[in-house]
């Protein structure tokens, strides 16, 4: 009987788990403030909830005011193994503010590392979020468009290093068109984008992706007719990067034709 049972088991099809994304994660706490009552613990600075009934990012700002944003998962890519199996892109949007999150997740876990950029603070953080999650992404992501209106004039004053990327530099500039990956083909999206830099980020060596360090320049872009708003990430290490369509909630892998060139840091 044992050989027969073995044959039956081997012949049974292996069923993949149905797609499911459930995130119940609390972020780091804000620093204690004199506005807190004596003995009170500071509230969480950021929490993420995503399941069938709830999809939200809740931020407690420095004045202890809570703001709630709709949270959407917008793309999935293979992660830098063995650090994580997946790199999940998420976006949280309001009419005049947004968050971009890129999370390093496995199929499930008690915690995960998340990088996140917040526009109103113009700040990038990387923190370990504690809680529970299940992450089995679908083959494709579809999200409802969001109303968002952030003029380029609201982009903060550039405080990073000097850089050059085609017709684009610290004072702003433009991209004549975008060359994006659709399926397995690169296709041109005609139309000029007006671009303003937001912040630069130095990534250390042996970071899970590469043995060498690199620098990123993160930017805000609008179509000339003002109907589209984008978050753009370019790299010194490669000539491609990412463009997040903030209105539609989509991540576009983009070929810029060249890597961004950043001046070295001045010695202290």
The answer to whether residues 33 and 62 touch, using CB atoms and an 8 Å cutoff, is: yes
* pLDDT number for residue 14: 44
Distances (CA, A) of 248 to 96, 198, 227: 15, 21, 11
Closest to 122 (Cα-Cα) out of 55, 220, 17:
220
- Grouped pLDDT means (10 residues each) for the chain, 268 residues: 35 62 85 61 82 90 89 93 92 94 95 94 91 93 87 91 92 91 90 94 82 92 90 94 93 93 79
Residues 6 or more apart whose Cβ sits within 8 Å of residue 6: none
pLDDT digits (tens, 9 = 90+) for 225-267: 888 899 999 999 999 999 999 999 999 999 999 999 999 877 6
Tokens 């620098």 -> residue: 215
* pLDDT number for residue 13: 45
* pLDDT number for residue 81: 86
Closest to 252 (Cα-Cα) out of 238, 240, 263:
240
Helix (H) or strand (E) holding 79, with range, is none
* pLDDT number for residue 210: 79
CA 27 to chain centre: 16
Tokens for 62, please give them: 């420095």
Closest to 261 (Cα-Cα) out of 243, 235, 241:
235
* pLDDT number for residue 43: 65
Closest to 98 (Cα-Cα) out of 138, 54, 150, 136:
150
* pLDDT number for residue 2: 35
* pLDDT number for residue 10: 41
pTM score, two decimals?
0.86
Q: Let me know if 175 is exposed, middle or buried by CB neighbors in 10 A (0-12, 13-18, 19+).
A: buried
For the chain, percent helix, then strand, then coil, each to nearest 5?
5, 55, 40
Q: What are phi and psi of 4, to 5 degrees?
A: -65, -45
């Amino acid at each position: 009987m044992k050989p027969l049972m073995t044959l039956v088991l081997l012949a049974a099809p292996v069923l993949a788990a149905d797609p499911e994304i459930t995130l119940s994660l609390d972020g780091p706490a804000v620093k204690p403030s004199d506005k807190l009552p004596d003995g009170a613990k500071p509230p969480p600075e950021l929490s993420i909830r995503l399941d069938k009934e709830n999809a939200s990012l809740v931020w407690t700002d420095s004045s202890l005011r809570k703001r709630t944003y709709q949270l959407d998962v917008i793309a999935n890519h293979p992660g830098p193994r063995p650090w994580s199996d997946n790199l999940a892109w998420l976006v949280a949007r309001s009419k005049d503010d947004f968050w971009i999150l890129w999370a390093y997740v496995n199929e499930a876990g008690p915690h995960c590392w998340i990088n996140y950029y917040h526009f109103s603070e113009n700040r990038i953080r990387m923190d370990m979020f504690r809680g529970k999650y299940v992450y089995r992404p679908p083959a494709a992501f579809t999200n409802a468009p969001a109303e968002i209106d952030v003029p380029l004039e609201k982009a903060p004053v550039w405080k990073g290093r000097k850089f050059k990327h085609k017709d684009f530099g610290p004072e702003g500039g433009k991209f004549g068109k975008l060359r994006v990956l659709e399926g397995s083909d690169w296709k041109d999206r005609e139309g000029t984008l007006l671009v303003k830099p937001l912040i630069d980020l130095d990534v250390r060596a042996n970071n899970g992706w590469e043995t060498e360090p690199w620098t990123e320049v993160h930017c805000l872009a609008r179509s000339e007719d003002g109907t589209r708003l984008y978050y753009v990430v370019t790299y010194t290490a490669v000539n491609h990067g990412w463009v997040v369509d903030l209105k539609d909630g989509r991540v576009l892998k983009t070929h810029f034709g060249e890597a961004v060139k950043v001046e070295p840091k001045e010695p202290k």
